[in-house]
Amino acid sequence: MASANAFSLSLVLQALSVIQASRYTVVAACTLQVYDWLLLLEDEIKFIHQSAEWTCIRIIFILARYYPLLAWPVIVWALVPNHAPAFCANVLWPIHIIHAPLQCIAQFVMLFRAYAFTGRARCVLYCLGSLYLILVGVDLWAFCARVIAPAAAFYTLVGDTGCFADYNNEMMRLRLGFIMLAATLMDLASLVVVFCYCRRYQAEKTSLGRVFIQQGMCAFAALLVVNAIAAIIYFRPEPIHNGSGYPIMFVLSNIFACRVILHLRKQTSLTDSEMAQRDDALVRSAFGVLTQDEWAIGGNEKTSIMENGLPP
């Protein structure tokens, strides 16, 4: 009996330590999300919000940027302060549902960029779209199905605490593992598609291609590593699981996705002198004045922009 009580006390102390670590992780994730938003707010206003046209990429970016900014304070409120067990029983499932779009939005941004970069190839859309639908299905199953709360005896021992799900339960643990496994496969497929396209068409010879290679593929690779490590952690049979890996993983996914869009928009935007040169070219074309001067700004992309206008 003494050994059983000691073992139970050891688990309780370990659980309290894990809860504290989870709270630190959630606060850190929320802080990182806000910090990145403030850091890039000037670029966001310049390259996203100054356009009067509501394009698809603008809507996707706003969802990827502002849904987490609205969701994380709610998650912090639910997990960081102490709440009564009866209160947690009522809010645990809605709080879990709030997590669901965090992964889906970020992955859709990366899918959209990979699809657009490959010239909107339908085979790429079908391939990545199928994987994305699997990811959405796993995500909905993991976060919108019935949430298993800690046993009543746990609250009797530790008292009021945050509204955490019981990630020590095997099913709850495997849910997070399958989410991160699906995200890993999605990132790996996107990375392979973009890499193969670049190798086949030598897109790295253009400035926009180099931008995607340097930042876009690095983002895919970074997400692949983060998701793979998290999946390994949650598939391991450990005695205590706290779910502390997914806040950082979700935040990094959104940050990488938003940074890729902002950097690409920045690279394809024209300066004032480039805008004047494009207007001059339009005037010459209107009056039938031919010129042999070729205005190539950093590669074929900006030449195309000068002739056809800014991309949506």
The confidence score (pLDDT) of residue 296 equals: 33
Distance, C-alpha 83 to centroid of its chain: 29
Higher-confidence residue: 307 or 187? Answer: 187
Q: How many CB atoms lie within 10 A of CB 255?
A: 23
Q: What sign does the CA torsion over 293, 297, 303, 306 have?
A: negative
Q: What φ, ψ does residue 298 adopt, rounded to 5°?
A: 70, 20
Residue whose pair of structure tokens reads 């990979």 in the numeric block:
114
**Average pLDDT of the segment spanning 30-52:** 91
Same structural domain, 30 and 171: yes
Nearby residues of 163 by Cβ (< 8 Å), 6 or more positions away: 78, 79, 83, 87, 88, 91, 92, 95
Q: Is 151 helix (H, G, I), strand (E, B) or coil?
A: coil
* Judgement on whether residues 111 and 163 belong to the same structural domain of the protein: yes
Residues linked to residue 83 through DSSP beta bridges, in sequence order: 161
Whether the per-residue pLDDT at 55 is higher than 60: the answer is: yes
**288 shares its domain with 146:** no
Question: 82 is in which domain, residue-wise?
Answer: 2-269
Structure token digits, residue 43:
């670029």
Question: Could you give the CA distance from residue 203 to residue 311 in angstroms, rounded to a whole number?
Answer: 18
* Degrees, nearest 5: CA angle 66-72-77: 140
Which residues touch 277 (CB under 8 Å, ≥6 apart)? 295, 306
| 151 and 282 assigned to the same domain | no
CA nearest to 187, candidates 143, 145, 231:
231
With residue 257 as reference, give the H or E element that holds it. Answer: helix 245-267
How high is the pLDDT of residue 146? Answer: 86
Domain total of the chain: 2
Token pair recorded at residue 279: 């207007």
pLDDT tens, 174-230? 887 788 788 878 878 877 887 777 777 655 555 555 555 565 566 666 766 766 766
Q: Assess whether 195 and 211 both reside in one domain.
A: yes
Whether residue 98 is found in the same domain as residue 225: yes
Please calculate the CA angle 118-214-229 and round it to the nearest 5 degrees. 95
- In a shared domain, residues 179 and 283: no
Same domain (yes/no): 297, 203:
no
Residues 13 and 102 in one domain: yes
Per-residue pLDDT at 119? 76
CA–CA dist 231, 185 (Å, integer): 11
Residue 190: the pLDDT is: 79
Q: Where are the alpha helices (H) located in 202-294, listed in sequence order?
A: 207-211, 217-235, 245-267, 272-286
Q: Write out pLDDT tens, residues 222-259.
A: 766 766 766 666 666 654 555 566 788 788 888 888 88
Angle formed at CA 241 by CA 224 and CA 72, multiple of 5 degrees = 65
Higher pLDDT residue, 239 or 67? 67
Q: Which residue has the higher pLDDT, 309 or 153?
A: 153
Residue 159 has pLDDT above 50, yes or no: yes
* Residue 223 and residue 312 share a domain: no
Q: Which residue has the higher pLDDT, 268 or 63?
A: 63
* Range name among 93-102, 204-213, 257-266, 290-299 with the lowest pLDDT average: 290-299
Give mean pLDDT, residues 62-68: 93
Provide the token pair at 224: 């692949």
pLDDT for 194 equals: 74
CATH number at residue 34: 1.20.1070
pLDDT number for residue 76 = 94
Mean pLDDT across 259-285: 62
As a whole number of angstroms, the distance between CA 281 and CA 274 comes to 11
Average pLDDT, the chain: 75
Read off the tokens for 56. 């698809």
pTM (predicted TM-score) = 0.75
pLDDT value at residue 242: 53
Burial grade of 142 (CB within 10 A; 0-12, 13-18, 19 or more): buried
Q: Are residues 265 and 276 in the same domain?
A: no
Q: What is the pLDDT of residue 32?
A: 93
Counting every residue, how long is the chain? 312
Instruction: Count Cα atoms within 13 angstroms, Cβ side, for 61.
Output: 24
For residues 203 and 244, state if they share a domain: yes
